[in-house]
């Protein structure tokens, strides 16, 4: 019964408002003299509303919200902010009707939600901490209440709205409950109401709606029912938004149907809101309940049908009926029709139509005008005592105030501020910060609200300060169609801009660019464009309030420092670029590539490069601007500050070449650095990955191509300049080829180092400072080059004038796990030998190759070039061992070095070929590792032990024995 009793009081509100608004035609009506007092003391002065200007809807909404906030029974006490002792109950709610800003009487839980809604709408318009605290207090109070004590739809709607505020979702407020807790409280209220409201216990939505209707009988049989339904429709649609699978939208549709059936019966002429329905009438007898709250009912139906999207065909009729209830001053009648000379204007009767028209799905020019006029009336009747302490509330003739009604009017004003208050927004497209010397066009855009009257004329005073050249009148331009436009230079960077239409004109009824101003930046600093004052007028010369939004932007004339250590490295159809930079005053790194070209920019000099007549290396740009302007440099890409690498990528191998790279640091103002101290270059392909087998690998097919053209030069039939890849400028496998038009040992070394180049990198083997070789004459007269000692040997080139009849691989070459390359070019001795694979050197000792010559070959006649795994030239020693030098006795030499870690060499010599077993033993006699178990020929031999056992594990430091068994010979030594 409490719910019904409270709403019955609504029927008295319109009557009480009559005395207040009787003199409305003359402007705002002052309340009785004196300032409302309560235990909270005088309410603060509202400084941000000019009460003589009723169209300042935003200021009016803020004032109304603060007014309502002062009357809250809050958890966080002293909303009024005066430090007085507080006697409010601590529940976050509101009382009913009072003359003081203190809720010492009963608190009505069923009106909390509808009251706090005004504060919520204003908070969305302009958030503030005091409003948030008031909303949190109300939400906490509702969540802590029993559903039976807060059984009203607005409580559900408010709890759901508050639960979705960013502060609540983020959990940043320790005094707020969780979002889920507020939502659960809202669901609990609905579940309770659906179950308890129908007297029969039938929980269908139709029975629920019928119970609402019957709750108003017999005292209020008409319009208020439709608004009751609208509040529940709102609640159900909010539940649907939070729980889409809950079926709440279908319940809302059904409830709208109940409202439709109640208002538009099947029998023509009997509907409450039909054009000729029984409720369409007017009487001075306010006790005649037949006509009470007609306008609120029509507003409720509009809200119902717009919210659910049902029965929208009735909206034009309902809006016509609603507008027929509006007085010329904007107020709405308490019943049907705005009867001249009869003052039945009401606060709620005007606020609710504003709500309905704001949310309608069928707005027209007429409804927008009605919306504007109604909001203007509410702004005009908002309380103004004429004293310093202006309340911003909505008082009645007996000086009482009802928080709920004040909040409903406040919500209407907030909706008006959103839909009506336009704004003048200042923007300056382009980078911020801006560079020096650029023209920055500042636009002044008029953003009109849906219901804003036409803008007929304006005056805007603009102040411009900061590092820009002096602005003169000619820098301004008018963009809208104004019959009159003028700019007055007030000096000191201040200008007054005037524009107006002439004659009968509806004014600007759409968003518009009012005017622009061009500014030329001149130095480091901040440019501020502020709007000092403004005047907007409609065609009736009525002031249009608007939000004025100035702006500022930074001018940055200082470029960041240059990058350093630019490094380019090749990949397959890619180049990896890296650099270093501190990142100070920097936004991006801009990467530019330049191509080593064939006389024509963009045409690669591949594969000849420095052999090609007219080939050109791109000229380095001095700075970022130079790179942008140069035809030789192409912008390859950009990365953000913090990233110091970039991969330049091509889709295929048709763009092979040598590419140069420049990297510039660029700040947010697009100031670019000077060039780095040095750039770098790289191929975008692996040297040795040659046609027709280009695939990102240097493999056997590529070596076959190399073999076919090896030892040829330009002009030879088999010459292939694609194989002319060595030597490189740094002798590495990834350098720039120094083409010489000859395919020889230098090219072989590059091929060998890049063989299987894209496989996982292997640890580079140790390279000996000196490689030990032996030139051995075999018993059959042939000569062999032996690798006796040393590590890291990868390539061998041996030349002599002696004619050779054959060159064959030796046993060491044959035993290598990786692919080898061996060729002798020409009739004389010109042996080229290499082991294929990145960082791979020959493993073991023994014969590298064997030659058969027509004469003895002295070591002095040999020209030997040895290369390590990194293509470095290696020193060597060469011993001659002829057939006569074959050892006559067996010998096992001392290991060297000794001590060692982890590698040592063991030498032995055989007077004749024997099966040889060489093994390492620990001090306790256990065999640790087998180093050799094979047949070896007569002569010197060497075996390397890397300090590992047969399982491949490193052995502990200590003393070991090694033993050799070779036919009849056996010997043991300690190491």
Q: Please report the DSSP string for 722-751 in residue order.
A: GG---SBTTSSTTS-B---SB-SHHHHHHH
Phi, psi of 492 (to 5 degrees): 70, 25
Higher pLDDT, 646 or 967: 646
Supply 333's token pair: 């009648």
Length of the chain, in residues? 975
Rounded to two decimals, the pTM is 0.61
Residue 3 has pLDDT above 70, yes or no: no
Place of tokens 């030499």: 893
The pLDDT-based confidence of 544 (bands split at 50, 70, 90) is confident
Separation between Cα atoms, residue 656 and residue 596, nearest integer Å: 10
The pLDDT-based confidence of 817 (bands split at 50, 70, 90) is confident
Closest CA to 784 of 711, 908, 879: 879
Residue 30 has pLDDT above 60, yes or no: no
Classify 238 as helix, strand or coil: helix
Q: What is the pLDDT of residue 476?
A: 86
Taking residue 880's Cβ as centre, other Cβ atoms within 10 Å add up to 14
Q: What is the pLDDT of residue 18?
A: 28
Q: Which of 375-379, 410-414, 891-895 has the highest mean pLDDT?
A: 410-414
pLDDT in tens, 312-359: 999 999 999 999 999 999 999 988 888 877 788 889 999 999 999 999
Name which of 357-361, 412-416, 533-537, 853-857 the model is least confident about.
Answer: 853-857
**Parallel, antiparallel, or unpaired: how do β-strands 820-824 and 828-835 relate?**
antiparallel
Torsion sign, CA atoms 633, 635, 636, 641: positive
Per the CB < 8 A criterion, the answer to whether 285 and 334 are in contact is: no
The pLDDT-based confidence of 20 (bands split at 50, 70, 90) is very low
pLDDT in tens, 184-242: 999 999 999 988 877 655 568 888 988 888 888 777 766 778 899 999 999 999 999 99
The pLDDT-based confidence of 56 (bands split at 50, 70, 90) is confident
For residues 737-750, average pLDDT: 94
Q: Which letter, b or e, does each residue of 529-546 get, where b requires 16 or more Cβ atoms within 10 Å of its Cβ? A: bbbeebebbbbeeeebbb
Residue 884 has pLDDT above 60, yes or no: no
Supply 800's token pair: 């002599």
Per the CB < 8 A criterion, the answer to whether 294 and 282 are in contact is: no
pLDDT in tens, 914-958: 999 999 999 888 999 999 999 988 877 889 999 999 998 999 999
Separation between Cα atoms, residue 424 and residue 444, nearest integer Å: 6
Closest CA to 663 of 557, 567, 569: 567
Q: What is the pLDDT of residue 212?
A: 86
Separation between Cα atoms, residue 136 and residue 113, nearest integer Å: 12
Mean pLDDT for all residues in the chain: 85
Q: Which residues lie below 8 Å from residue 341, measured CB to CB, with a gap of 6+?
A: none
Higher pLDDT, 470 or 822: 822
Name which of 104-108, 525-529, 749-753, 881-885 the model is least confident about.
Answer: 881-885
């Amino acid at each position: 019964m409490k719910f019904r009793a409270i709403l019955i009081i609504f029927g008295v509100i319109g009557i009480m408002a009559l005395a207040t608004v009787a003199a409305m035609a003359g402007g705002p009506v002052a309340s009785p003299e004196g300032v409302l007092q309560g235990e909270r003391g005088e309410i603060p002065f509202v400084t941000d509303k000019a009460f003589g200007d009723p169209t300042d809807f935003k200021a009016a909404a803020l004032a109304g919200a603060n007014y309502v906030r002062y009357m809250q029974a809050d958890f966080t006490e002293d909303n009024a902010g005066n430090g007085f002792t507080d006697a409010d109950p601590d529940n976050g709610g509101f009382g009913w009707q009072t003359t003081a800003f203190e809720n010492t009487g009963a608190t009505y839980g069923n009106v909390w939600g509808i009251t706090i809604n005004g504060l919520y709408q204003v908070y969305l318009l302009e958030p503030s901490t005091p409003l948030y605290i008031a909303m949190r207090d109300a939400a906490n109070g509702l969540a802590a209440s029993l559903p039976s004590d807060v059984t009203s739809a607005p409580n559900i709607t408010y709890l759901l709205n508050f639960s979705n505020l960013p502060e609540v979702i983020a959990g940043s407020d320790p005094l707020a409950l969780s979002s889920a807790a507020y939502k659960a409280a809202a669901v609990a209220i609905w579940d309770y109401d659906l179950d308890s409201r129908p007297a029969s216990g039938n929980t269908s939505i139709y029975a629920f709606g019928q119970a609402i209707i019957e709750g108003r009988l017999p005292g209020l049989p008409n319009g208020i029912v439709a608004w009751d339904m609208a509040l529940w429709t709102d609640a159900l649609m909010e539940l649907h938004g939070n729980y889409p699978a809950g079926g709440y939208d279908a319940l809302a549709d059904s409830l709208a149907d109940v409202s439709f059936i109640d208002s538009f019966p099947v029998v023509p002429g009997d509907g409450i809101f039909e054009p000729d329905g029984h409720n369409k009438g007017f009487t001075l007898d306010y006790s005649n309940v037949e006509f009470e709250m007609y306008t609120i009912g029509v507003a409720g139906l509009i809200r119902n049908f717009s919210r659910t999207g049902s029965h929208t065909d009735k909206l034009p009729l309902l809006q016509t009926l609603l507008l027929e209830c509006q007085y010329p001053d904007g107020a709405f009648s308490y019943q049907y029709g705005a009867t001249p000379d009869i003052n039945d204007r009401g606060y709620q009767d005007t606020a609710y139509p504003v709500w309905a028209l704001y949310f309608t799905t069928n707005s027209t020019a007429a409804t927008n005008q009605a919306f504007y006029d109604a909001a203007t009336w509410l702004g005009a009747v908002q309380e103004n005592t004429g004293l310093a302490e202006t309340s911003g509330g909505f008082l009645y003739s007996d000086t009482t105030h009802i928080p709920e009604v004040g909040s409903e009017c406040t919500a209407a004003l907030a909706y008006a501020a959103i839909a009506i208050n336009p704004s003048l927004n200042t923007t300056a497209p382009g980078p911020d910060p801006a560079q020096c010397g650029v023209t920055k066009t500042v636009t002044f855009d008029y953003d009109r609200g849906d219901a804003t009257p036409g803008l007929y004329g304006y005056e805007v005073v603009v102040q411009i300060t900061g590092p820009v050249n002096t602005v003169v009148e000619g820098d301004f331009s008018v963009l809208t169609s104004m019959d009159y436009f003028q700019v007055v230079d007030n000096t000191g960077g201040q200008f007054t801009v005037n524009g107006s239409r002439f004659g009968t004109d509806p004014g600007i009824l759409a968003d518009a660019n009012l005017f622009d101003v061009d500014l030329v930046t001149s130095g480091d600093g901040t440019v501020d464009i502020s709007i000092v004052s403004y005047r907007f007028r409609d065609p009736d010369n009525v002031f249009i309030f608007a939000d004025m939004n100035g702006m500022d932007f930074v001018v940055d004339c200082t470029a960041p420092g240059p990058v350093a250590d630019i490094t380019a490295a090749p990949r397959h159809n890619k180049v990896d670029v890296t650099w270093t930079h501190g990142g100070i005053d920097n936004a991006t790194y801009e990467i530019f590539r330049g191509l080593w070209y064939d006389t024509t920019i963009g045409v690669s000099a591949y594969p000849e490069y420095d052999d090609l007549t007219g080939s050109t290396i791109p000229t380095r740009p001095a700075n970022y601007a130079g790179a942008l302007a140069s035809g030789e440099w192409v912008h390859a890409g950009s990365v953000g500050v913090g990233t110091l690498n970039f991969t330049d990528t091509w889709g295929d191998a048709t763009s092979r070449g040598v590419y140069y790279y420049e990297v510039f640091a660029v700040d947010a103002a697009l100031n670019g650095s000077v060039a780095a101290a040095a750039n770098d270059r790289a191929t975008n392909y692996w040297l040795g990955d040659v046609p027709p087998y280009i695939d990102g690998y240097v493999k056997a097919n590529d070596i076959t191509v190399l073999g076919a053209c090896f030892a040829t030069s330009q002009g030879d039939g088999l010459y292939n300049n694609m194989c002319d890849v060595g030597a490189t400028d740094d002798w590495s496998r990834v350098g720039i080829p120094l083409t010489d038009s000859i395919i020889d040992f230098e090219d072989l070394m590059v091929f060998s180092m890049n063989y299987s180049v894209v496989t996982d990198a292997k640890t580079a083997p140790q390279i000996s400072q000196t490689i030990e070789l032996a030139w051995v004459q075999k018993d059959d007269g042939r000569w062999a080059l032996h690798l006796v000692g040393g590590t890291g040997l990868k390539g061998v080139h041996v030349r002599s004038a002696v004619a050779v009849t054959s060159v064959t691989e030796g046993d060491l070459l044959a035993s290598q796990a990786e692919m080898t390359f061996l060729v002798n070019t020409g009739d004389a001795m010109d042996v080229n030998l290499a082991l294929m694979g990145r960082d791979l050197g020959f493993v073991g000792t023994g014969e590298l190759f064997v030659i058969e010559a027509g004469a003895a070959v002295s070591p002095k006649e040999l020209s030997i070039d040895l290369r390590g795994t990194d293509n470095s030239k290696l020193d060597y020693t060469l011993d001659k061992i002829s057939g006569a030098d074959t050892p006559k006795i067996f010998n096992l030499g001392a290991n060297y070095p000794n001590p060692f870690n982890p590698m040592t060499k063991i030498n032995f010599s055989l007077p004749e070929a024997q099966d040889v077993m060489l093994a390492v033993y620990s001090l306790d006699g256990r065999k640790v590792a087998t180093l050799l178990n094979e047949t070896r020929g007569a002569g010197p031999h060497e075996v390397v032990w890397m300090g590992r056992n047969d399982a491949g594990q490193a052995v502990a430091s200590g003393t070991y024995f090694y033993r050799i068994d070779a036919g009849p010979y056996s010997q043991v030594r300690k190491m």
